[in-house]
Structure 1
Amino acid sequence: MHKNYIYFGLLLGSTLLLSFSGKESIQTVKNFSANFHLLNQAGSPGGKTGAPGDATCTQCHSGSVQSGSGFNLVTLTSGGSPVTEYLPSTTYQVTVTMSTNNVKNGFEIVPLNPNNTMAGTLAITDATHTKTITSLGKTRVTHKLAGTSLTSWSFNWTSPATNVGTVTFYLATNETNSNAGSTGDVIRTSQHPFGSQAGIQEAANKIETSIGYQASTNSLNIQLDSKVDGSVFVNVVDLSGKSVFTEDLGTVSSGESAFSVRLDKELNSGIYMVNVSVDNNMTLKRIFISK
């Protein structure tokens, strides 16, 4: 009888120990998840822009990636004036803007050259709200905890010392629902190309474009005459320097081509600049949209 008491005592003790260990493990996992999310509120861990070789914010936040075209805006300015092309070895202010009034947001951005390596250098001008982070051999800019209450952030970018062709800023934004968790957030990625002024004449010798806007279909009609083969990319920029539409049109062979590009939203009446590039050779045309 004494042996049975010992047996049941050991069994009860083991059950209580396993029960306690299970609860402790669950609590540890919960605490780790919460702490990891709080850590990311102070900025992206890096490598989440959607650029070639990068992941996206959905690695830490649930949901699918959405297009940031027209929602994510990148403005390049020099002396207070917006530009659509860069000069080598020149410092520009870069402003990232999300088209939202949401109360808590985040971002990560990186500029890459056509070889998908780092283009130029980045410098923080607002250390309260932004910071740099190095990941995968590239320097990026992301928000800090104090910056999550903003919808617009600025920093400086110094362009490469030589003409490297089109520099593309790869941007991912996170429009959060402030639930202190990783669910219910909206992740948007976008690409914002800026050509080199040093290469404009060279590009003009390689491609010619004629571009018009058709209001009935909200489309751009692009006639392209190219002397080179390559990927075709279109970027629409308003006069404030904001990229309002971007699209990859695939590849073309040298010769004449025609595209009808449906814009993803109605644009206000006014003048816009349309950049069309083939194999990183860019042309720039003005269009007028009248409603």
Structure 2
Amino acid sequence: FSATLIAASASTAILIPPSIALILYSIVVPGVDLRALFAAGLFPGIIAGLVLVLPAWLLARRLGWENPEGAERPPLGESFRQALPALFAPVLILGGLRSGLFTPTEAAVAGVAYGVLVGLFVTRELNWRNLWKLCGEAGVISGVVMLIIALAGIFAWAGTMLGTFRHLAEWLISLSDNGTVLLILVMVAVLLAGMLLDAISIYLILMPILIPVMQHFGWNPVWFGILLAMNIAIGQFTPPVAINLMVTAEVARIRLEQTVGWALLFVLVMGSALVLVAIFPEIALWLPRVLGYAV
């Protein structure tokens, strides 16, 4: 249960700024303001977190998991104080973007620099030797990501040049004249893709097909991007692949199949949050409008 809950809650990071998936979406979809996407993901991300908290709290109370073996609860005030440096990172990034102090790319640099300074001089969990090792690991991970982007980019270019994506988009549009029906079909398709692929691959492969569909039905691109991100988040802890779940199951030293029952429960509650945002787009669009971003 703990491994599944951690995997499900970790998936909500795709909605809370700074989100690599939303950055990529703003690059792939022309005319979408990244600042609007970051603001739009805030309330859906909070809702996604709350719908996970509720069943976890109820199950913990019913099954007696609240205080196992008389364990002492960590003091709330001290825990919050220790979390303050990490909680300030989104404030720094969003504040810098909002004020125009730096671009999204520069925001990533500012976030990394802030994390390094906190790790070296505040929490002291980093030293110069570990930092060098982390830079090497980051280089390897970045190389893997760039390889995925390169291959997916070739696939997207080939599909565009051959007209395959255009035909697929036309076929999707021909399935129904009802935008709601087609939105449901698209969400199911993205969920299935999220069960097998990472967010970067999904955006680069599917967006050339989905952009004409989005434009045909007049869906708001910011709202649609948040729906896609929520859907991909669900796919990250949905078997058979379940990238997040594979990591937490490995750390917990349990078999992946032991988590399936709990995973389906959290898929259901996260799906309810997705449906809520789909029915009421203003949940995502209200904050960007208040902040004056183009949506």
Q: TM-score range with shorter-chain normalisation?
A: under 0.3
User: Comparing both chains, which one has the higher relative contact order based on Cα–Cα distances under 8 Å and sequence gaps of 6 or more?
Assistant: 2
Q: Which has the higher helix share?
A: 2
TM-score (norm 2): 0.25
TM-score with structure 1 setting the length:
0.26
**Greater percentage in strand:** 1
